């Protein structure tokens, strides 16, 4: 039991350290940085979902059916991974600004679990239909295992977007606003 309490303390200390870092403080106290990072996160996520949807629709036989799957995947996955990298980076930057609150947020944790499941789903594709791409590459759609993975993928990514959006509605600032905070109304013309 003592070991468990120590590990909880180390998690709390780590979260406090992240949240108290110079980078986190700079982002949190800037009028423009957090909204810029959040907008970049949304753009990255849109690209991730859009490119994955093209792949999933190809697997289901609903899009790009005249092109071999391997060609579609080759053209698109580089954009998926670049966008995923952007999304991870911006997600981490947003996380550190309020690490303790995000870490304990149900929707944040749900999003992390769903991302893990999306990764496992991709692994399932590689272990099933992905191993036999040469056999069905020019077919209109993937075999049943590829279609199942594509369907699960679409459902998971829609759920990731949904719960991710709820993170912003269910978190609060770690510290109450101070009198030095900028009031947006002061910036508007009078």
pLDDT tens per residue, range 69-105: 999 999 999 999 999 999 999 999 999 999 999 999 9
pLDDT tens per residue, range 29-78: 999 999 999 999 999 999 999 999 999 999 999 999 999 999 999 999 99
Tell me how far apart the alpha carbons of residues 59 and 151 are, in angstroms, rounded to a whole number.
9
Give the pLDDT confidence score for residue 8 in this predicted structure.
Answer: 59
Show Cβ contacts of residue 132 under 8 Å, excluding neighbours closer than 6 positions: 143
User: Is the pLDDT assigned to residue 176 strictly greater than 50?
Assistant: no
Give the pLDDT confidence score for residue 171 in this predicted structure.
Answer: 81
User: Is the pLDDT assigned to residue 2 strictly greater than 90?
Assistant: no
Give the pLDDT confidence score for residue 168 in this predicted structure.
Answer: 85
Q: Is the pTM of this model over 0.95?
A: no
Query: Which percentage of the chain shows pLDDT scores above 70?
Result: 85
Mean pLDDT of the region 131-154: 96
Distance in angstroms between the alpha carbons of the first and the last residue of the chain = 60
Mean pLDDT of the region 130-146: 96
Mean pLDDT of the region 157-180: 78
* CA neighbor of 86 nearest in space, from 123, 52, 55, 47: 47
- Helix spans in 61-179 (H): 69-97, 99-103, 106-127, 133-136, 144-169
User: Is the pLDDT assigned to residue 184 strictly greater than 70?
Assistant: no
Answer for the pair 146, 152: CB distance below 8 angstroms, yes or no.
Answer: no
pLDDT tens per residue, range 14-32: 999 999 999 999 999 999 9
Mean pLDDT of the region 142-168: 96
Q: What is the mean pLDDT of the chain?
A: 90
């Amino acid at each position: 039991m003592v070991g468990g309490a120590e590990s909880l303390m180390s998690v709390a200390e780590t979260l406090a350290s992240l949240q108290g870092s110079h980078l986190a403080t700079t982002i949190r106290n800037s009028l423009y940085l957090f909204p810029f990072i959040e907008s970049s996160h949304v753009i990255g996520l849109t690209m991730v979902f859009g490119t994955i949807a093209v792949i999933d629709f190809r697997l289901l036989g609903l899009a790009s059916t005249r092109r071999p799957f391997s060609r579609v995947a080759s053209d698109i996955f580089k954009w998926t991974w670049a966008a995923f990298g952007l999304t991870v980076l911006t997600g981490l930057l947003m996380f550190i600004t309020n690490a303790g609150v995000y870490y304990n947020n149900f929707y944040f944790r749900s999003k992390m679990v769903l991302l893990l499941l999306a990764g496992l789903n991709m692994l399932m594709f590689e272990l099933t239909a992905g191993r036999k791409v040469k056999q069905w590459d020019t077919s209109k759609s993937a075999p049943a295992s590829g279609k199942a993975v594509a369907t699960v993928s679409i459902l998971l990514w829609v759920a990731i977007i949904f719960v991710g959006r709820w993170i912003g509605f269910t978190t609060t600032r770690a510290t109450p606003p101070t009198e030095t905070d900028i009031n947006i109304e002061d910036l508007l013309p009078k």
